[in-house]
């Protein structure tokens, strides 16, 4: 069983990374032939970095759009971020001080993550407009993440798992020196769901993470009059002989 | 009147309800083959339409990063669901931006993603059928490409990009919209959207010269095809005869005259509008844009100035340099191209224009930000200039100005309901219903602040308002051009208005009794 999990995680992680790399290459290969930033837009590159940071960290557009969705969505994502940071300890032999300190607050992030996800699920079920646009997969993603959070909470606060052994297992994954995994039900569920998430990542709406940064509406500089923008395929149609010259 | 009801103003707070299939139907009139052929489209449904549509989709996925990324990055959060004026006015759930995108996305998923190929039900993927094509045609012609949804989307997804892609795919399988294609064809054949030939245009401009001189005593020139002027004026052809557009044109003429900027229109490029944008065709946008380059070269001008037209300004500001540049043969001391409001605003700042605001004292104005200007372009040096400059010019011409509610102006402005190639009589129900949110904001401004009139800087907005204002209980001439206000207030050097204001000595002498 431990071998199965070790193999599953190695495969899942590879699928996620390779899939994401493929998608990122695909997005960057497709040209953006016209300047289409949604204005008012920054007129400098550093302004664009700031604009994207505001979207990625604060969810600025969503905040403007809908306060409830923002509250639950932001709560979920920020908690997830803390939870992920907290999990770094499983992959670092000597845990650095910041991560040790983080644990004190970090372990409660699983709860806010769960609350955020619950809010999003309730909204998806009870707001008629949001229900209308939801496919089965939209609910399943929320449930998947909720079960991941829940199994984590159970391991930490209800039926403790041997974390030292888990750390042996996860460090073993990194060096391809597979170790035994404590075979409790919560950890097996937790890891199975995480592996499913990683495998599905590049084939799903989780692509919104790279997508956010590749949206030409947000990542372009507003300078079309000052600087001529021309993409690869447009340049071919743009040859001098097609154009009247003074 | 028509067989539908004008929507009632709604009570706050508003929770939009959904009414399935409220706007189901056949969509606007389908184009004719003779228009389509001139635009490079087949004009009828080919036998292998499905392959052709999917091929085109694949082609566009490889040509437009926006389309490629937006197909993947929607998380169905629902942020956009209450932001579209067509959804607000019609309650048809397929007019929610995400639902409109999903009409395309569910086909994308079926043919271009792993999940949709193997688990279509799970991710809501469907086969491309003729019914799907008809649904595309109907609902992608209920989007005015105004980009309001993209402002609120956490992923920056712009439904306009998807609507444009959809229309381009539809055109390639013989399902183009008549209104837009006929207009593009008229631009190619005659030079402007309205099919106004050069001779008629020249007549109109001569009449305008007479009229303005009679009014002011100043010989303001309205040139056509005059070589060697300083500026080429690109303005929507509605400016040549529609109300209130033409009053704006008179305003540009007066401002340019007062500043000593000689200008001409071109009979070959007598149209600023570029409906290539609406049909999502890069080739056609470029072909239409190229006329501007050619006119500028032929007429040997140094500058290009655009009149009041929303999407034309987006194409001009954002795309012209890409599509028809580089413009190294023009005077680099001026922005290329420049908006007439940038010219007027700059001159006002420098104190070069004298304005008598009292002329507009009977008005309390508000301003409708046109979507393409607000969310697809800029004016001046600073982001947001497209909001500040028109307002500054209105306030320089008019003492009474009030903004509408903050969530209906600037980059949150609501479309007039007629943009994006929908300004056609066969879509009248959609146009009237889509105007609801703007009309509600206007009504509030009239009741709370005594607003009497609304100014706009877009030919489509002006025409649309003229049509829909009466349905909502306003006067049709409540809509005005921004340069119409300028035209009323400007005091040109040597004009009758100047004499009236300053009281010329000769007049006083004459007035004295001689006995």
Beta-carbon separation of A217 and B99 below 8 A: no
pLDDT of residue A101: 87
Q: Does B365 touch chain A (CB under 8 A)?
A: no
Pick the closest to residue A201 from A11, A9, A19, A8 (CA basis): A19
Helix or strand run (H / E) with residue B265 = strand B263-265
Beta-carbon separation of A23 and B72 below 8 A: yes
Provide the b/e sequence for A185-204 (b: ≥16 CB within 10 Å).
Answer: ebbbbbbbbbbebbbbbbbb
Q: How far apart are CA B341 and CA B457, in angstroms?
A: 9
Contacting residues for B164 by C-beta, under 8 A, at least 6 apart: B145, B277, B278, B279, B280
Percent pLDDT > 90 in chain A is 83
Q: How far apart are CA B192 and CA B272, in angstroms?
A: 8
Beta-carbon separation of A65 and B83 below 8 A: yes
Q: How far apart are CA B320 and CA A230, in angstroms?
A: 11
For residue B456, what are the β-bridge partners? B481
Calculate helix-pair angle for A67-87, A136-153, nearest 10 degrees: 50
Q: Does B66 touch chain A (CB under 8 A)?
A: yes
Contacting residues for B247 by C-beta, under 8 A, at least 6 apart: B480, B481, B483, B484, B487
Q: Is the dihedral of CA A203, A205, A206, A207 positive or negative?
A: positive
pLDDT of residue B514: 47
Name the strands in the sheet holding B365-367, side by side, starting at the edge strand that comes first in the sequence: B365-367, B453-456, B479-481
Q: Is the pLDDT at B156 greater than 90, yes or no?
A: yes
Q: Is the pLDDT at B231 greater than 80, yes or no?
A: yes
Band the pLDDT of B515: cuts 50, 70, 90: very low
pLDDT of residue A244: 84
Beta-carbon separation of A26 and B68 below 8 A: yes
CB B266 within 8 A of CB B499: no
- Of residues B159 and B511, more confidence is placed in B159
Distances (CA, A) of B18 to A123, A222, B215, B434: 16, 37, 54, 15
pLDDT in tens, B44-78: 999 999 999 999 999 999 999 999 999 999 999 99
| CB-closest option in A41, A205, A230 to B74 | A205
How is residue B95 written in tokens? 């007019």
Please name the residues between 146 and 205 in chain A that touch chain B, using a CB distance below 8 Å.
Answer: 200, 203-205
For residue B454, what are the β-bridge partners? B366, B479
Band the pLDDT of A61: cuts 50, 70, 90: very high
Average pLDDT, integer, range B457-477: 97
Helix or strand run (H / E) with residue B456 = strand B453-456
pLDDT of residue B10: 79
Count the helix, strand and coil residues of chain A and give each as a percent rounded to the nearest 5: 75, 0, 25
Half-sphere exposure of B403 (CA within 13 A, CB side): 14
Pick the closest to residue A74 from A156, A51, A65 (CA basis): A65
Q: How many CB pairs under 8 A join A and B?
A: 216
Q: How far apart are CA A65 and CA A106, in angstroms?
A: 29
pLDDT of residue B302: 98
CA-based nearest distance A193→chain B, Å? 18
Provide the b/e sequence for A147-171 (b: ≥16 CB within 10 Å).
Answer: bbbbbbbbbbeeeebeeeebbbbbe
Range A2-30+40-215: architecture per CATH: Up-down Bundle (1.20)
pLDDT of residue A240: 62
**Is the preceding peptide bond at B337 cis, omega within 30 degrees of 0?**
yes
pLDDT of residue A237: 78
Beta-carbon separation of B411 and A38 below 8 A: yes
Average pLDDT, integer, range A159-182: 92
Nearest 5 degrees, angle CA A79-CA A85-CA A87?
105
How is residue B3 written in tokens? 């067989």
How is residue A149 written in tokens? 């959070």
- Domains along the sequence of chain B with CATH: 33-176 (1.10.1060), 184-489 (no CATH)
Half-sphere exposure of B101 (CA within 13 A, CB side): 30
Q: Find the closest chain B residue to A42 by CA distance.
A: B383
Cα-Cα-Cα-Cα dihedral of B494, B499, B500, B502, to 10°? 120
Average pLDDT, integer, range B200-222: 97
- Distance spanning both ends of chain A, measured CA to CA: 76
Residue count (chain A): 246
Neighbours of B410 (CB within 10 A): 18
Q: Find the closest chain A residue to B116 by CA distance.
A: A203
- Of residues A130 and A1, more confidence is placed in A130
Distances (CA, A) of B275 to B145, B319, B421, B422, B457: 12, 13, 7, 11, 17
pLDDT of residue A241: 59
Q: How far apart are CA B44 and CA B55, in angstroms?
A: 17
CB B178 within 8 A of CB B29: yes
Pick the closest to residue B244 from B421, B477, B489 (CA basis): B477
Q: Is the pLDDT at B505 greater than 80, yes or no?
A: no
| CB-closest option in A40, A64, A69 to B378 | A40
Where along chain A do its domains lie? 2-30+40-215
Q: Does B79 touch chain A (CB under 8 A)?
A: yes
Beta-carbon separation of A35 and B324 below 8 A: no
Please name the residues between 202 and 221 in chain A that touch chain B, using a CB distance below 8 Å.
Answer: 203-205, 207-208, 211-212, 214-218
Contacting residues for B233 by C-beta, under 8 A, at least 6 apart: B252, B256, B263, B264, B265, B305, B306, B307, B340
Pick the closest to residue B389 from B429, B349, B329 (CA basis): B349
Average pLDDT, integer, range B244-256: 98
Pick the closest to residue A224 from A37, A24, A55 (CA basis): A37
Q: What is the DSSP letter of B240?
A: G
Half-sphere exposure of B45 (CA within 13 A, CB side): 8
**Residue A115 C-alpha from the chain's centroid:** 18
Question: In this predicted structure, which of A146-160, B149-163, B187-201, B302-316 has the lowest mean pLDDT?
Answer: B187-201
Q: How far apart are CA A235 and CA B171, in angstroms?
A: 24
Band the pLDDT of B457: cuts 50, 70, 90: very high
pLDDT of residue A151: 96
Helix or strand run (H / E) with residue B305 = strand B303-306
Task: Give chain B's mean pLDDT.
Answer: 94
Q: How far apart are CA B10 and CA B451, in angstroms?
A: 20
Written in H, E and C, the secondary structure of B155-174 is CCCCHHHHHHHHHHHHHHCC
Q: Is the dihedral of CA B395, B401, B404, B406 positive or negative?
A: positive
Q: How far apart are CA A145 and CA A190, in angstroms?
A: 10
Map tokens 């209308």 to a residue: A132
CB B101 within 8 A of CB B162: yes
Neighbours of B360 (CB within 10 A): 23
- Of residues B17 and A118, more confidence is placed in A118
């Amino acid at each position: 069983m431990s071998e199965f999990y070790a193999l599953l995680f190695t495969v899942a992680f590879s699928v996620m990374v390779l899939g994401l790399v493929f998608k990122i290459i695909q997005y960057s290969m497709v040209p953006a032939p016209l300047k289409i930033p949604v204005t008012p837009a920054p007129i400098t590159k550093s302004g664009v970095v700031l604009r994207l940071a505001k979207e990625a960290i604060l969810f600025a557009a969503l905040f403007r759009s809908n306060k409830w969705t923002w509250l639950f969505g932001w709560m979920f994502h920020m908690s997830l971020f803390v939870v992920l940071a907290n999990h770094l300890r499983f992959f670092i032999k000597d845990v650095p001080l910041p991560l040790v300190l983080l644990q004190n607050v970090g372990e409660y992030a699983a709860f806010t993550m769960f609350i955020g996800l619950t809010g999003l699920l309730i909204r998806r079920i009870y707001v008629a407009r949001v229900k209308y646009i939801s496919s089965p997969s939209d609910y399943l993603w929320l449930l998947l993440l909720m079960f991941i959070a829940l199994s984590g909470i159970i391991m930490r606060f209800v039926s403790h798992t041997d974390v030292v052994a888990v750390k042996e297992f996860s460090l073993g994954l990194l060096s391809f020196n597979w170790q035994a995994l404590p075979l409790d039900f919560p950890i097996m569920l937790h890891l199975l769901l995480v592996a499913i998430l990683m495998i599905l990542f590049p084939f799903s709406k989780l692509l919104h993470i790279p997508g956010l940064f590749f949206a030409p509406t947000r990542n372009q500089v507003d300078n079309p009059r000052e600087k001529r923008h021309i993409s690869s395929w447009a340049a071919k149609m743009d040859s001098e002989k097609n154009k009247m010259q003074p | 009147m028509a067989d539908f009801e004008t929507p009632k103003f709604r009570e706050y707070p508003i929770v939009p309800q959904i009414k399935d299939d409220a706007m189901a139907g056949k969509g606007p009139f389908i184009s004719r083959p003779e228009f389509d052929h001139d635009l490079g489209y087949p004009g009828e449904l080919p036998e292998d339409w499905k392959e052709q549509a999917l091929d085109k989709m694949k082609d566009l996925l490889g040509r437009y990063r926006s389309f490629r990324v937006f197909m993947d990055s929607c998380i169905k959060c629902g942020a956009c669901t209450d932001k579209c004026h067509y959804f607000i006015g019609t309650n048809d759930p397929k007019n929610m931006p995400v639902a409109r995108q999903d009409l395309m996305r569910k086909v994308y998923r079926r043919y271009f993603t792993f999940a949709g190929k193997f688990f279509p039900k799970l991710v809501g993927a469907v086969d491309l059928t003729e019914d799907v094509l008809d649904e595309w045609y109907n609902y992608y012609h209920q989007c005015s490409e105004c980009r309001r949804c993209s402002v609120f989307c956490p992923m920056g997804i712009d439904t306009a990009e998807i609507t444009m892609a959809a229309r381009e795919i539809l055109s390639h399988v013989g399902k183009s919209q008549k209104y837009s294609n006929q207009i593009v064809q008229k631009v190619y054949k005659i030079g402007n959207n309205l099919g106004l030939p050069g001779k008629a245009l020249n007549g109109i401009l001569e009449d305008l010269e007479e009229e303005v001189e009679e009014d002011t005593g100043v010989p303001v020139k309205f040139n056509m095809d005059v070589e060697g002027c300083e500026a080429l004026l690109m303005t929507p052809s509605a400016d040549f005869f529609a109300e209130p557009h033409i009053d704006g044109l008179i305003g540009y003429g007066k401002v340019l005259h007062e500043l000593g900027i000689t200008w001409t229109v071109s009979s070959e490029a007598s149209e600023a509008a570029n409906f290539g944008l609406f049909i999502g065709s890069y080739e056609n946008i470029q072909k239409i844009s190229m006329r501007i380059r050619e006119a500028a070269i032929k007429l040997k001008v140094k500058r290009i100035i655009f009149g009041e037209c929303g999407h034309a300004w987006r194409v001009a500001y954002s795309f012209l340099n890409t599509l028809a540049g580089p413009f190294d043969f023009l005077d680099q001391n001026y922005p290329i191209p420049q908006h007439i409001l940038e010219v007027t605003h700059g001159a006002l700042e420098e104190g070069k224009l004298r304005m008598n605001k009292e002329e507009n004292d009977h008005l309390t104005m508000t301003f409708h930000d046109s979507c393409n200007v607000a969310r697809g372009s800029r004016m001046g040096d600073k982001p947001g200039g497209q909001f500040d400059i028109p307002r500054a010019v209105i306030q320089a011409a008019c003492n009474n100005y009030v903004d509408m509610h903050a969530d209906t102006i600037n980059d949150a402005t609501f479309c007039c309901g007629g943009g994006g190639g929908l300004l056609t009589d066969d879509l009248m129900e959609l146009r009237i219903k889509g105007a609801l949110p703007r009309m509600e904001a206007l009504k509030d401004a009239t009741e709370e602040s005594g607003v009497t009139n609304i100014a706009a800087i877009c030919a489509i907005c002006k025409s649309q308002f003229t049509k829909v204002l009466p349905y909502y209980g306003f006067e049709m001439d409540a809509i005005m051009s921004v340069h119409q206000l300028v035209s009323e207030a400007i005091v040109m050097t040597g004009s009758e208005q100047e004499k009236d204001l300053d009281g010329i000595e000769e007049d006083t002498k004459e007035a004295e009794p001689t006995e």
